[in-house]
Amino acid sequence: MNIYILLFQCRDQRGIVAKLADFLFKSGANIITADQYSTDPRGGYFFIRLEFIVDAASRSKSALEKGLGIIADKLGARFSLSDKHKPLRMGICVSKPGHCLAEILYLWRERELNVDIPFVISNFKGHRKFVGQYRIPFYFIPATKSNRRENALLKVVAKSTDFLVLSRYMLVLSKKFLSAYRKDIINIHHGFLPSFKGSSPYKQAFSSGVKVIGATCHFVTEKLDDGPIITQAVEHISHKDGLGDLVCKGRNLEKRALSDALRAYVDYRVIRHDNKTIVF
Amino acid sequence: MNIYILLFQCRDQRGIVAKLADFLFKSGANIITADQYSTDPRGGYFFIRLEFIVDAASRSKSALEKGLGIIADKLGARFSLSDKHKPLRMGICVSKPGHCLAEILYLWRERELNVDIPFVISNFKGHRKFVGQYRIPFYFIPATKSNRRENALLKVVAKSTDFLVLSRYMLVLSKKFLSAYRKDIINIHHGFLPSFKGSSPYKQAFSSGVKVIGATCHFVTEKLDDGPIITQAVEHISHKDGLGDLVCKGRNLEKRALSDALRAYVDYRVIRHDNKTIVF
Amino acid sequence: MNIYILLFQCRDQRGIVAKLADFLFKSGANIITADQYSTDPRGGYFFIRLEFIVDAASRSKSALEKGLGIIADKLGARFSLSDKHKPLRMGICVSKPGHCLAEILYLWRERELNVDIPFVISNFKGHRKFVGQYRIPFYFIPATKSNRRENALLKVVAKSTDFLVLSRYMLVLSKKFLSAYRKDIINIHHGFLPSFKGSSPYKQAFSSGVKVIGATCHFVTEKLDDGPIITQAVEHISHKDGLGDLVCKGRNLEKRALSDALRAYVDYRVIRHDNKTIVF
Amino acid sequence: MNIYILLFQCRDQRGIVAKLADFLFKSGANIITADQYSTDPRGGYFFIRLEFIVDAASRSKSALEKGLGIIADKLGARFSLSDKHKPLRMGICVSKPGHCLAEILYLWRERELNVDIPFVISNFKGHRKFVGQYRIPFYFIPATKSNRRENALLKVVAKSTDFLVLSRYMLVLSKKFLSAYRKDIINIHHGFLPSFKGSSPYKQAFSSGVKVIGATCHFVTEKLDDGPIITQAVEHISHKDGLGDLVCKGRNLEKRALSDALRAYVDYRVIRHDNKTIVF
């Protein structure tokens, strides 16, 4: 028995659920989870996530894809079909702050995060030993603001990854890099977006006297710290919290927002739509 | 155009979604929201909530119910079909503490809570004037622990309500009353269940030195403060919070837990299953 | 026995606590709560809040003030001494949205908010009846964006209030008004500042795809939605929440942020310092 | 310059703050943080935490202790004086679940937790390599329910530690062990106490259908899972969360509750009083 996850989206119209459910039923599949969302019940955009079990012998993945493709064509829809238990290959880029890296690697080792990690790339040599303890290849690429070495980066990540995580990577990726890589890039921003974009968000938060701080995990787009938000984590602070406390509390928020987002992403529960996300 | 909500549940089996979706499609309906849950993907219990639009001219409610009944019979399922915009009739019972009552009536007047309120019943006369300001009938039933006057209560509520809310009603309803009323009764308990059942939960919380307090909204069953939980609201406290502060913060939690639960309930998003709830 | 609250602030220097504690001890007072904060332990600004009991017969308020004045002069400090149980006079200004007004009046009636409310001012006539139920004077001042009628407003509030609450008052008060009134004005903003300033913050939040929304209670300064923040309340949202849900959830956040802020303020636990607040 | 932290507690009485502040002033100290709490303003128990800077040359720690001792004797008080920057020696006991261990070691290495860690003791061999990476001694003591090997444990911990952390140590320590060790022992319980004591709290939570789960960090006393609570962390769950999700979310709560508690404890901000704690 295989478990597949179908993500399917199109303009809302009558009969989408019926067509999909009927096809799956006739393919011998049993739907075990259905999540659906429409941007506007009276004529918006329609999204569905179906998780179903099917006997491998009775229907191959490519046969399912073919059938779904026919339905999608009629409805003007896009879809993806994924094998629930086949891990995605997640590349990690990280600069000096290592708390998110440590969290991800720990979750991965404990099998709480279902991914393969082909490598960790850093412009900070100091992580080599730590990463080595997990028996994951470590590549030091001495990227800086003036020389981001994106070609070297691209060479490593292009074919070996299904998506990238910027786990506190302090360099902005260029439009050119994004176009060349073309797959999803997930960033953890150490501030409560849309407030406090750019650098030193905790300093900005501290100066502004806010009583709640946050961290934001989002897809990377060409505009800095502006892509579709996946998760946000927040915590109350008080006047007693100095800048150091904010950084310290913030690290926990970053770990939480990032691990929640990654868990949802690798379970195919995150859908990008315009500048927003649907997180089933 | 009418909007209906279908709640449908049965033992999990292949093809449920297909059968329902196909029926609705052929009835000219367009599914606008689908929420589904199975207790166990490999053979548990299956629940679905479907919200759909249908042209009143093309298919009447009773025609839809008839068709759904045939499907349900084959699958051994239970279902209910409700008119989204037809408000449920919510009876309110309240003792002296009036904060939840005030919250509910305010939400009702602001149309944030889609119900009809046929009356407020209290064993505390002092609420008469307040309730009168909302032009809602007020019945004073001087129930006490030694004489709960459940016959009088039943007489008022039996036919005029679709469900009851115990909005800080301090008397336990008897098994006999529950059997006679037979519809849902929702209670707000001023403690974080399953801790602190029974009376004076804030005193219990204060004495035990907990650092988080809560309020719990649940269905009433024969066992005191033990029915299926719908919502819980929680808040951090510190050693500085005296018993009075706990009561005060707790009132806010009660209002929050209760109003969230009621909003979900009247939107048919709450399903009871054994000793738990599914809240879509 | 009287209970007084002393707020005392100056440049940090050795011996402040000793001088104050010694004076109070010699005055026959017993300190029952002490809260202290320094912006920087090695030479910043020092704040203390002391709550103490003193036998009315032994020492009058003016005698205490005189003694404290001598200490303050030596230390270059500012201070205020307040009678804990003497309620402040809180003026309320409100436009059409009435949920915060309802919350405040309810808390006031239940004695959860220790204030006198000399009046409610509104540019929306519709609140007259509701306010009347609480036997509080209601003044309709038909202020609009083009004619804010601040002279009329000032006439009412100048002498009869100790501070003002803008409980969803949709007009900006001018610099001139602020200079003339000179006392604290507390505003509830229906957004998570510093994001989403100005009007329609929920619409802004909805469009931006944030996963957490908030409300902010702050002091009014000349810059719109930019004064020192007292409290912020936040709540997680999902893609399922439409604009209407945000408004609805937001109302609860506003009520929470505002009532927490007012409770702290009238208990003299809020101190303004530059563009921030200390909330003991 | 040295920074000291004074914890001082006694029956409430007039002049305590004055006596302490006066003594410190005359000793050349500058109070940088004062936190005070009384269980009852009219005659309860009084607690104060004072953080102060003093020139090492002018006054030694023992001289300060001597002076404070005289004051304490007069007031019938207990006190402790600690060097803020001298790390406490924290022993760690851990069974198989390693997430809290990993969190603590990471915080320690990042200097977010100011302690010395003389060793990690475990009845699970598998942690040896992980602990070794941090260059911390690892002792395998094969304790089981039937043979807790408390003598071996005591031998290791008695002299080399200032306090113990049970970082998911699955054995109950005996009364005899507690009496022999005599110092503080901090436990992380993977449930929201006082609900769900004992083993398998997540299973208990799952079966009971709660909508919020929690983790509790508390001092160990003779009664199982019943000592004074230091911190509690909570998170909302839904019907979608299976037992596995609860365990996974719970691990994050445990890490949060434990690290918050330890940070407060080693900063001398936690005071035990009867069955409760004061956490400044």
Given the residues A225, A241, A267, A274, the one annotated as active site = A225
The pLDDT of residue B41 is 73
Tell me which residue in D18, D28, D41 faces C32 most closely, judged by beta carbons: D41
Please give the residue of chain B at the shortest CA–CA distance from C34: B240
* CA pair distance B191, A250, nearest whole angstrom: 31
The pLDDT of residue B107 is 95
Residue of A179, A117, A188 lying closest to A154 (CA atoms)? A179
Given the residues D73, D184, D225, D274, the one annotated as active site = D225
Q: How far does Cα B107 stand from its chain's mean position?
A: 15
- Which of the 8 DSSP states describes residue A228? P
With contact defined as 3+ CB pairs under 8 Å, the chains touching C are A, B, D
Q: CB pairs below 8 Å between A and D: how many?
A: 17
Please state the rounded mean pLDDT for residues B256-278.
Answer: 96
Cβ within 8 Å, pair C110-B133:
no
Longest dimension (CA), chain A: 63
The pLDDT of residue A195 is 84
- Helix, strand, coil percent content, chain C, rounded in steps of 5: 35, 30, 35
pLDDT in tens, C36-68: 999 987 779 999 999 999 987 778 999 999 999
Which pair of tokens denotes residue C5? 């609250």
Q: Report which residue type is found at A38.
A: S
Q: Is the pLDDT of residue A58 over 80?
A: no
With contact defined as 3+ CB pairs under 8 Å, the chains touching B are A, C, D
Q: Which residue has tokens 């009773």?
A: B62
Query: Which chain D residues contact residue B279 at CB under 8 A?
Result: 211, 238-239
Tell me which residue in C209, C232, C236 faces A276 most closely, judged by beta carbons: C209
Q: What is the pTM of this model?
A: 0.95
Tell me which residue in D102, D112, D248 faces A106 most closely, judged by beta carbons: D102
CB neighbour burial string for C14-42, b if at least 16 within 10 angstroms, e if fewer: ebbbbbbbbbbbebebbbbbbbbbbbebe
Cβ within 8 Å, pair A38-B33:
yes
Residue of B83, B82, B12, B5 lying closest to B47 (CA atoms)? B12
Q: Is the pLDDT of residue A1 over 90?
A: no
Is the CB of D48 inside 8 Å of chain C's CB atoms? yes
Query: Which chain D residues contact residue A112 at CB under 8 A?
Result: 248, 251
| Sign of CA pseudo-dihedral B119, B120, B124, B129 | negative
Instruction: Classify residue D53 as exposed, middle or buried by CB count within 10 Å of its CB (0-12, 13-18, 19+).
Output: middle
Is the CB of B71 inside 8 Å of chain A's CB atoms? no
Q: How far apart are the first and last CA of chain A?
A: 24
CB neighbour burial string for B67-101, b if at least 16 within 10 angstroms, e if fewer: ebeebbeebebebebbeeeeebbbbbbbbebbbbb
The pLDDT of residue B194 is 86
* CA pair distance A95, B254, nearest whole angstrom: 46
Q: Which residue has tokens 């980066």?
A: A153
Question: Which of C48, C188, C211 to substitute to test the interface with A, most A CBs within 10 Å?
Answer: C211
* CA pair distance B243, A243, nearest whole angstrom: 34
Is residue C171 within 8 Å of residue C145, measured between CB atoms?
Answer: yes
- Shortest alpha-carbon distance between residue C131 and chain A (Å): 32
* CA pair distance C198, C202, nearest whole angstrom: 11
Q: Is the pLDDT of residue A19 over 90?
A: yes
The pLDDT of residue A197 is 84
| Sign of CA pseudo-dihedral A59, A65, A71, A74 | negative
Q: How far apart are the first and last CA of chain D?
A: 24
Please state the rounded mean pLDDT for residues C274-278.
Answer: 95
What stretches in chain D show pLDDT beneath 50? none
Q: Report which residue type is found at C26.
A: K
Cβ within 8 Å, pair A112-D252:
no
Alpha-carbon distances of C148 from C118, C145, C179, rounded to whole Å? 21, 6, 16
Residue of A255, A193, A259, A257 lying closest to A223 (CA atoms)? A193
> Where do the domains of chain C lie, and which CATH numbers do they carry?
2-83 (3.30.70.260), 88-279 (3.40.50.170)
DSSP one-letter string for chain B: -EEEEEEEEEE--TTHHHHHHHHHHHTT-EEEEEEEEES-TTT-EEEEEEEEEE-TTT--HHHHHHHHHHHHHHHT-EEEEEETTS-EEEEEEE-S--HHHHHHHHHHHTTSS-EE---EEES-GGGHHHHHHTT--EEE----SS---HHHHHHHHHHH-SEEEESS--SPPPHHHHHHH-S-EEEEESS-TTSS-SS-HHHHHHHHT-SEEEEEEEE--SSTT-SPEEEEEEEE--TT--HHHHHHHHHHHHHHHHHHHHHHHHTT-EEEETTEEEE-
Query: Which chain D residues contact residue A102 at CB under 8 A?
Result: 106
Is the CB of D32 inside 8 Å of chain A's CB atoms? no
Is residue C166 within 8 Å of residue C187, measured between CB atoms?
Answer: yes
Q: Report which residue type is found at D164.
A: L
Alpha-carbon distances of D93 from A33, B227, C76, D157, D158, rounded to whole Å? 41, 39, 53, 10, 13
Please give the residue of chain B at the shortest CA–CA distance from A40: B32
Please give the residue of chain A at the shortest CA–CA distance from D131: A133
* CA pair distance A180, A151, nearest whole angstrom: 10
Q: Provide CB contacts within 8 A for C155, sequence distance 6+.
A: none
- Shortest alpha-carbon distance between residue B212 and chain A (Å): 15
* CA pair distance C235, C212, nearest whole angstrom: 5
Q: Which helix (H) or strand (E) holds D17?
A: helix D16-26
- Which of the 8 DSSP states describes residue A64? H
* CA pair distance A167, A154, nearest whole angstrom: 17
Other beta carbons within 10 angstroms of residue C146's beta carbon come to 5
Instruction: Enumerate residues 95 to 134 of chain D having a beta carbon within 8 A of any beta carbon in chain A.
Output: 98-99, 102, 106, 110, 112, 133
Cβ within 8 Å, pair A41-B24:
no
Which pair of tokens denotes residue C193? 């500042």
The pLDDT of residue A22 is 95
Q: Which helix (H) or strand (E) holds D264?
A: helix D243-266
The pLDDT of residue D94 is 98
Q: Strands D276-279, D270-273: parallel, antiparallel or unpaired by DSSP?
A: antiparallel
The pLDDT of residue C208 is 92
DSSP one-letter string for D151-216: HHHHHHHHHH-SEEEESS--SPPPHHHHHHH-S-EEEEESS-TTSS-SS-HHHHHHHHT-SEEEEE
Tell me which residue in D210, D212, D232 faces B210 most closely, judged by beta carbons: D232
Other beta carbons within 10 angstroms of residue D248's beta carbon come to 19
More confident site: C57 or C108: C108
ipTM passes above 0.90: yes
Helices (H) then strands (E): counts for chain A: 8, 14
Task: Indicate which residues of C carry an active-site annotation.
Answer: 225
Q: Directed axis angle between helix A243-266 and helix D243-266, to 10°?
A: 170
- Shortest alpha-carbon distance between residue A260 and chain D (Å): 10
The pLDDT of residue B10 is 97
Is residue B232 within 8 Å of residue B254, measured between CB atoms?
Answer: no
Question: Which of A204, A211, A241 to substitute to test the interface with C, most C CBs within 10 Å?
Answer: A211
Query: Which chain D residues contact residue A98 at CB under 8 A?
Result: 110
Instruction: Enumerate residues 240 to 279 of chain B having a beta carbon within 8 A of any beta carbon in chain D.
Output: 240, 275-279
Cβ within 8 Å, pair A102-D99:
no
